[in-house]
Amino acid sequence: MTLAPGTMKRFLISSGLILAFISLSACGFQPVYRKNSETGYSSNQYLQTVRIAPLPDRPGQILHNMLRDRMNPLGQPRQPFYSLDSIITETTKDLAVRLDNTTSRTNLTILVKYRLLRLSDGSAVYSGSSRSTNSFDQLDDPYTNLVAEDTARKRVLRQIADDMTLQVGSYFTNATK
């Protein structure tokens, strides 16, 4: 009896997938956005109870809007239980310099330190930080440089917003056990 071509390959792939799923369940892996069996709520529902505090300057406005899109897709909560306060620090560093001493490549790094406050008593229930770096080319045209820097800033802030949402969601998943 011979096996059809590809049967052994399919068997090995399916065996590997089954083994991977068993390994994940054995290590305690749990999806972040699952419903909690005790409370019946998912971390998404807890995220919708978080008021995103306004942030100063244009990068703060962009981050604020990105966080609202991720945590409060239906708009700011009318009666929030938590408030997310953040501080943004932005730095640039020249990476490459031309022969005429002008910069040709720049790194943009943004660090956001944040606290999740319970509004009922004002206590900080979670704090964290998120950092991301992106680089952009510096050309001879000032407008092109502004657009490149703005695009890099938005990419960095998008990564930070995703990370902050994941960290706060993970807090809610673990805190409500």
Q: Show me where the domains of the chain are located.
A: 55-175
What six digits make up the tokens of 44? Answer: 């998404």
Cα maximum dimension of the chain: 75
pLDDT band at 103 (very low <50, low <70, confident <90, very high): confident
pLDDT band at 128 (very low <50, low <70, confident <90, very high): very high
Counted residue by residue, the chain has a size of 177
The 10s digit of each residue's pLDDT in 155-169 is 999 999 999 999 999
pLDDT of residue 116: 96
pLDDT of residue 31: 59
Q: 125 vs 45, 82, 98, 101, CA distance in Å?
A: 17, 9, 49, 49
Mean pLDDT lowest among 90-104, 131-145, 148-162: 90-104
- The residue type at 160: I
The 10s digit of each residue's pLDDT in 20-71 is 766 665 555 555 555 655 655 667 788 889 999 999 999 999 999 999 999 9
pTM: 0.77
72 pLDDT exceeds 70?
yes
C-alpha–C-alpha distance, residues 36 and 134, integer Å: 36
Cα-atom radius of gyration of the chain, to the nearest Å?
Answer: 23
- The residue type at 124: A
pLDDT of residue 159: 97
Which residue bears the tokens 């953040």? Answer: 86
pLDDT of residue 3: 61
If we measure between CA atoms, which residue out of 2, 72, 35 comes closest to residue 172? 35
Which residue bears the tokens 């092109």? Answer: 144
Q: Are 67 and 164 in contact (CB under 8 A)?
A: yes
1 pLDDT exceeds 60?
no
Instruction: Return the CATH number of the domain spanning residue range 55-175.
Output: 3.30.160.150
